Structure 1
Amino acid sequence: MGDFNSKKINKVNFGTYIQELPKREIGKEGLRKKILQKGNSWKTPFPGDEIQVHYGVKLQDGEYFDSSYDKGKPFTFKLGQGEVIKGWDEGIATMKKSERAIFTIPPNLGYGEIGSPPLIPPNSTLIFEIELVSWNSIRDISGDGGISKKIIKEGEGWATPKDVDEVLVKYVASTEDGKILSKFEDGIEISFAYLLGHLYPAMKKCIKTMRKGEIVELTVKPAYYFGNSSFDGDGIGILQSNSNLIIHLELISWKIVVDVTGDNKVLKKLIKVGEGYDHPIEGSLAKVMYIGKHEDGTVFERKGSVEEPFDYASKFIQFDHSFNSHERSRANALRLSCYLNNGGHQEASKMCSKVIEYDPCNVKALFRRAQAYLRINELEKAEIDIKKALQVDPNNRDVKVMYKEVKNKQKQYAQHEVKIFSTMLSRLA
């Protein structure tokens, strides 16, 4: 058998080499296998996986007559789905990535009594040399074929998100013909609580099976599009009833959320992993910092060691006249950043408004004020500032990213309002 890398089968060596093969049975129906080159992994493919192989084939008493190398590309099929002869389904299921092997396939696992004229006569034993190039794992997520997951890139470790965790993802949703319906990619990411789900229910079902860094392609049948209804907004299209939804999804990371009380009434989201293994016990004297916020982000209480020094420093910056213009500008920028990072969004918007009053085209001030408005859910005001900033600087990437964030939040509120309105109507009916 010649080297596959030459892209040509050596017909003389092929027949001679086969005669010397030891008999190693696969199963109990006469399938034999001889490994020529070991694989570079311990994994083997599962039924349903998308397989790529190179192959050469001859009749047991004849010459080579077909090779994928002659065609210039590997052969692709789904394992165990009846797309190829039974000998292939059974034999390739035993192979590892990059493995090369010769299979002797009897008629009952090949083309049987009928054959495949004119190349394969009835009751022919076939000799295949097969190289397993690669495969994409495909899993039935829904259990009924409604959502299938093809793994494009394996994730890290073994951990997967739990029901209450907050996940961070990138995705592109499209029709089967490639029309984009919705996306968060190109450096833009979206986070949401797993328990609450997302616009596409299929994403919620799939994410629970994914590991950090994993990239997949979901094929979603109509029953799993949007639950009981579809949504048509900016960038979201309504699919045809017989069309599959395709979602390219990447799980960037997730924040662990712990159900402290066991009834989902008190949840702890892990923002930063602590040091060591010790925890305070009952009766311990603990020193903490905390910020109390409503669901809309409004701060109602703040305690700890950051607040007092910051308030003092703010007043110092405001009333100390020893700063030159450059130093004061830097100090005010830090002051604004502290407001935004510590929940002082109203104060931040007031600072930006003073700048905009004297310089209406200041892109940075418009951006920061829009950022503050977004944090307190003043979405219309945020959108106005962003549009003004884009008029001055149409290519500003940060402003464009925030514009998408505002539009997405507007969509979420619109969906929420539609749901509430539908519930009200159903109760009135």
Structure 2
Amino acid sequence: MAVSHYNCCLETDADMSGVPEKQIGSQGLRKRILQKGVSWQTPFRGDEVEVHYCVRVKDGLYFDSSRDKGTPFRFKLGQCEVIKGWDEGIATMKKGERAIFTVPPDLAYGDGGSPPLIPPNSTLIFDVEMISWNTIRDITGDGGILKKITKEGEGWATPKDADEVLVKYEARLENGTVASKSDDGIEFCITKGYLCPAMSKAVKTMRKGEKADVSVKFSYGFRHFGNGNTQINGDIPPNSNLTIHLELVSWKSVIDIMGDRKILKKIMKVGEGFDRPNEGSVAKVIYIGKLENGTVFERKGSDKEPFEYTCLEEQINEGLDRAIVTMRKGERAMVTISYDFVRGRDFSEMVSQESMLLYEVELIDFTKEKPFWKMDTREKIEPSERTKHDGNVLFKAGKFWRASMKYERECYL
């Protein structure tokens, strides 16, 4: 091939003599940075990188250029798709960086060369520009689910197991047939899953707004299909691999208040700041209690006149009370409470032991007691004695959780 028309290439070693050079590794790979990159990030093993390059044999002319071909060169880093010198050198590059790599024979084509252009034992000079890369993550560690990010998401947070996610997706078979999709979006709990195991595993690694192509081996593929919100075209051949174009639109955080799934709080609107009410706080709330069949059994407060009560003083359903003290001002949540917190209530006969109560609740505002570190000695004595007495009464009544809260509070007074 004739000398490349890529006019950015340096034609001789003398042209590069004034550019600092550093060694990469211990096998003779050297690098000169001609143009610094625009960030601190570099690609990882398995990422799909996109570069422009031109190459020549040392002391020779450039004989190949991606720019002359009119398209960047793409390959997966660290997967032996290119010579070892490229895998090692390009892993050090940042987006927008341009560098000259001197690659010794052992990291290039070795004793055999690559006739007719590359003689045996040739040292190669590459002029490489890093354009971009797509991160490819091996989610399962066995190649069963590979995720390539096509659009970066927002922030740093990712969904957790109990959260409910809203996604848009399109799942295709290897032959390109669309097996299932949801253009309008589908919402599901990560723990319960949807469509196939790969969906839940992939979405837990994603950030809000992120888009990704997920390659799925058949072992992580279809187990069941969706409902009317999905479209199924044709029969699914056995042992089919899939490609899922997946977008994480948003998610709602679900918090297990006690760690035993008896009180679950799904955040519908995030509150303000970081402070939360505690025992003794006066809270202003609006809430509606419903049975699973939709029957409203309790309604407290309104926008004009919120319901006011003292937290953790048995003035409302204990399960709801425990959830409210985890909320922030302005937070709205859906609280699901097990039958354990129904006993003794006026509507308990309406609820079976398998049923759950559903509360739609909003914490409008709250006022906390004066912090103990701001109290003088006289101010501490009276509430300390009262708290200790209340704790003893609760303990004798078998209300151990509330008693422990009193004792813990008394220790700080």
Give the TM-score of the pair, scaled to structure 2.
0.67
In the aligned structure 1, how far is the partner of 2:271 from the partner of 2:217?
43
Candidates 188, 208, 215, aligned match of 1:212? 208
Candidates 244, 268, 275, aligned match of 2:265? 268
Q: 1:9 touches 1:56 (CA, 8 Å); kept in 2?
A: no
Partner of 2:289: 292
Q: 1:9 touches 1:64 (CA, 8 Å); kept in 2?
A: no
What secondary structure, in the 3-state scheme, does the structure 1 residue paired with 2:191 have? helix
Candidates 197, 204, 216, aligned match of 1:201? 197
What secondary structure, in the 3-state scheme, does the structure 2 residue paired with 1:288 have? strand
Structure 2 stretches lacking a partner, 5+ long: 306-413
What secondary structure, in the 3-state scheme, does the structure 2 residue paired with 1:286 have? strand
In the aligned structure 2, how far is the partner of 1:287 from the partner of 1:40?
50
In the aligned structure 2, how far is the partner of 1:280 from the partner of 1:12?
67
In the aligned structure 2, how far is the partner of 1:192 from the partner of 1:63?
59
TM superposition shift of 1:258: 1.0
Partner of 1:66: 64
- The alpha-carbon distance between structure 1 residues 189 and 119, as it changes in their structure 2 partners (threshold 3 A), is same
Partner of 2:218: 222
In the aligned structure 2, how far is the partner of 1:194 from the partner of 1:88?
39
- The alpha-carbon distance between structure 1 residues 55 and 202, as it changes in their structure 2 partners (threshold 3 A), is same
TM superposition shift of 1:103: 0.3
In the aligned structure 1, how far is the partner of 2:69 from the partner of 2:29?
26
**Deviation per CA, 1:8-66, whole angstroms, max 9, x where unpaired?**
24777445324555442111100010001101111000010001110000110211100
- The alpha-carbon distance between structure 1 residues 12 and 90, as it changes in their structure 2 partners (threshold 3 A), is closer
TM superposition shift of 1:242: 4.6
**Deviation per CA, 1:132-176, whole angstroms, max 9, x where unpaired?**
111100000011110000011111111111111111111111123
Candidates 274, 278, 286, aligned match of 1:281? 278
**Deviation per CA, 1:175-230, whole angstroms, max 9, x where unpaired?**
23332122122xx1221112211122101001111111111110000001124x67
Partner of 1:179: 177
Q: 2:170 touches 2:180 (CA, 8 Å); kept in 1?
A: yes
Partner of 1:168: 166
Structure 1 stretches lacking a partner, 5+ long: 1-5, 310-429
In the aligned structure 1, how far is the partner of 2:236 from the partner of 2:110?
44
In the aligned structure 1, how far is the partner of 2:19 from the partner of 2:303?
79
In the aligned structure 1, how far is the partner of 2:33 from the partner of 2:175?
41
Candidates 15, 18, 27, aligned match of 1:17? 15
Partner of 1:371: none
Candidates 41, 46, 54, aligned match of 1:43? 41
Partner of 2:237: 240
- The alpha-carbon distance between structure 1 residues 245 and 7, as it changes in their structure 2 partners (threshold 3 A), is farther
TM superposition shift of 1:291: 2.5
TM superposition shift of 1:240: 2.7
In the aligned structure 2, how far is the partner of 1:47 from the partner of 1:265?
43
In the aligned structure 2, how far is the partner of 1:246 from the partner of 1:269?
31
What secondary structure, in the 3-state scheme, does the structure 2 residue paired with 1:248 have? strand
What secondary structure, in the 3-state scheme, does the structure 1 residue paired with 2:248 have? strand
- The alpha-carbon distance between structure 1 residues 25 and 197, as it changes in their structure 2 partners (threshold 3 A), is same
What secondary structure, in the 3-state scheme, does the structure 2 residue paired with 1:41 have? coil
In the aligned structure 1, how far is the partner of 2:109 from the partner of 2:16?
20
- The alpha-carbon distance between structure 1 residues 108 and 199, as it changes in their structure 2 partners (threshold 3 A), is same
In the aligned structure 2, how far is the partner of 1:189 from the partner of 1:84?
40
In the aligned structure 2, how far is the partner of 1:222 from the partner of 1:11?
46
Candidates 29, 51, 54, aligned match of 1:53? 51
In the aligned structure 1, how far is the partner of 2:205 from the partner of 2:8?
46
Query: Bigger CA drift: 201-210 or 82-91?
Result: 201-210
Q: What is the root-mean-square deviation in Å for CA atoms of aligned residues? A: 2.5
Candidates 22, 29, 32, aligned match of 1:31? 29
In the aligned structure 2, how far is the partner of 1:221 from the partner of 1:20?
51
Partner of 2:251: 254
In the aligned structure 2, how far is the partner of 1:308 from the partner of 1:101?
66
- The alpha-carbon distance between structure 1 residues 182 and 295, as it changes in their structure 2 partners (threshold 3 A), is farther
- The alpha-carbon distance between structure 1 residues 34 and 23, as it changes in their structure 2 partners (threshold 3 A), is closer
Q: 1:15 touches 1:63 (CA, 8 Å); kept in 2?
A: no
In the aligned structure 1, how far is the partner of 2:302 from the partner of 2:10?
82
- The alpha-carbon distance between structure 1 residues 151 and 211, as it changes in their structure 2 partners (threshold 3 A), is same
**Deviation per CA, 1:78-134, whole angstroms, max 9, x where unpaired?**
000000000000000000011000000000000000000000010000000000111
| Greater share of residues in helix | 1
Partner of 1:116: 114
What secondary structure, in the 3-state scheme, does the structure 2 residue paired with 1:133 have? strand
User: Identity over aligned residues, as a percent?
Assistant: 60
TM superposition shift of 1:292: 2.9
In the aligned structure 1, how far is the partner of 2:19 from the partner of 2:110?
23
- The alpha-carbon distance between structure 1 residues 308 and 126, as it changes in their structure 2 partners (threshold 3 A), is closer
Q: Which has the higher contact order (CA 8 A, sep 6+)?
A: 2
What secondary structure, in the 3-state scheme, does the structure 1 residue paired with 2:283 have? coil
Q: 2:164 touches 2:190 (CA, 8 Å); kept in 1?
A: yes
Within 5 Å, give how 1:388-427 maps onto structure 2: none
In the aligned structure 2, how far is the partner of 1:307 from the partner of 1:157?
33
Candidates 81, 84, 98, aligned match of 2:82? 84
Within 5 Å, give how 1:362-381 maps onto structure 2: none
| Greater share of residues in strand | 2
- The alpha-carbon distance between structure 1 residues 231 and 190, as it changes in their structure 2 partners (threshold 3 A), is closer
Aligned length: 300
